[in-house]
Amino acid sequence: MQLQPKLIALQLLHLRNPALGEGLEEEMERDPRVCVMGEDVGHYGGSYKVTKGLATKFGDLRVLDTPIAENSFTGMGIGAAMTGLRPVVEGMNMGFLLLAFNQISNNCGMLHYTSGGQFTIPIVIRGPGGVGRQLGAEHSQRLESYFQSIPGIQMVACSTPYNAKGLMKAAIRSENPVILFEHVLLYNLKERIPDEDYICNLEEAELVRPGEDITILTYSRMRYHVMQAAKTLVNKGYDPEVIDIRSLKPFDLYTIGNSVKKTHRVLIVEECMRTGGIGASLTAAITENFHDYLDAPVMCLSSQDVPTPYAGTLEEWTVVQPAQIVTAVEQLCQ
């Protein structure tokens, strides 16, 4: 009986990310239309080993290594989706997908509408992003704000092994184009996930911690900064409610609204840039829909509007830290 936890631990420490990799593998087994394409996704296994072992199992046509040509292979994926396949396109780094912005905006998001409903685009575009550890400005992009205004695109951000697998599987099964944002610093997270098949709702937020005093809305890596701050806040006598919004487009205003109606105060914590970021859109949505329930203005903590520095100490200064979250809550709850 004591062997089982050890076996689970060994599985979690396997080189391939067990959550994203297992979710992708299970969907490829379930549906022969699912295929993967991107730079080094084949026998190398992807830049963060999400696709490790899939080329050996499914072959080079279903796990297709591409040239360094993001605009081309993203367009190829969109075309494959139009003709009946369910491609998963990996950007080696989310910043590189700026080279495919034309394909994502003018084709991926709009073709269902501009074709009069003749085509659906069941494609998943995924990859690592966010501020890592001294990866430099070009490899520390947060592109959520770039893509959120594109009509016809859904966007989700995973933050745990459980929701990473569930969102991956749900995105692959969706008839809509979905961008799945992964964070470079969360690939090594470990968590026991169910053996049975499950998916997560692409349009549903997750209540991480119930509370009464203030609603803290966050996603991706900032979930962990918020929970670290929450421990300090509880010791100081505050009772914060923490929600991982997960769905960046559309927002789950039902879950968010119920929390706002209970706490009457809102703090948004994001790693996205302050100007035109997810937090700005979320602030507008809360103000428009739940203004009468607010006892204080919505506050948003975001990354600074500067290129991410390479120097570690400067890099840390550009991203919201737990101490700033504690200070903001104390200010809002005065």
- Check: CB of residue 87 under 8 Å from CB of residue 36: yes
The answer to whether residue 26 is catalytic is no
Q: What is the DSSP string of 155-186?
A: EEE--SHHHHHHHHHHHHH-SS-EEEEEETTS
> Contact at 8 Å (CB) between 127 and 90?
yes
pLDDT at 196 over 90: yes
**Over the Cα atoms of the chain, what is R_g?**
20
The CATH architecture annotation of domain 8-192 reads 3-Layer(aba) Sandwich (3.40)
Q: What residues contact 47, with CB distance under 8 A and at least 6 apart?
A: 39, 40, 92, 93, 128
Residue type, 289: N
Has residue 60 got a pLDDT over 50? yes
Contact predicate 133/312, CB 8 Å: yes
Position 6 scores a pLDDT of 33
pLDDT for residue 138 = 86
Looking only at the bridges linking them, the beta strands covering 206-209 and 154-157 are unpaired
User: Which positions ≥6 away from 10 have C-beta within 8 Å?
Assistant: none
Alpha-helical regions (H) of the chain = 3-12, 18-30, 54-58, 70-82, 101-102, 111-114, 144-147, 161-173, 222-235, 253-263, 278-290, 312-318, 322-332
Among 22, 70, 241, 271, the active-site one is: 70
Question: CA dihedral defined by 280, 282, 284, 290, rounded to 10 degrees?
Answer: -150
Structure letter (DSSP) for residue 5: H
Q: Where are the domains of the chain?
A: 8-192, 206-333
What average pLDDT score do residues 52-71 get?
A: 95
pTM, two decimal places: 0.92
Q: What is the mean pLDDT of the chain?
A: 92
Residue 47's pLDDT band, with cuts at 50, 70 and 90, is confident
DSSP 104: I
- Cα–Cα distances (Å) from 283 to 23, 244, 260, in that order, read 33, 15, 12
Give pLDDT tens digits for 162-193.
999 999 999 999 999 999 999 999 999 999 99
pLDDT band of residue 141 (cuts 50, 70, 90) is confident
Contact 13, 187 (CB under 8 A): no
Q: What is the pLDDT of residue 18?
A: 76
Phi, then psi, of 215 in degrees rounded to 5: -95, 125
The pLDDT tens digits of the residues spanning 259-311 come to 999 999 999 999 999 999 999 999 999 999 999 999 999 999 999 999 989 99
The CATH label, of 3.40.47.10, 3.40.50.920, 3.30.2290.10, 3.40.225.10, for the domain at 206-333 is 3.40.50.920
Which residue out of 139, 144, 225, 270 is catalytically annotated? 139
Judged on CB neighbours under 10 Å (0-12, 13-18, 19+), 158 is: buried
Active-site residue flag, 225 = no
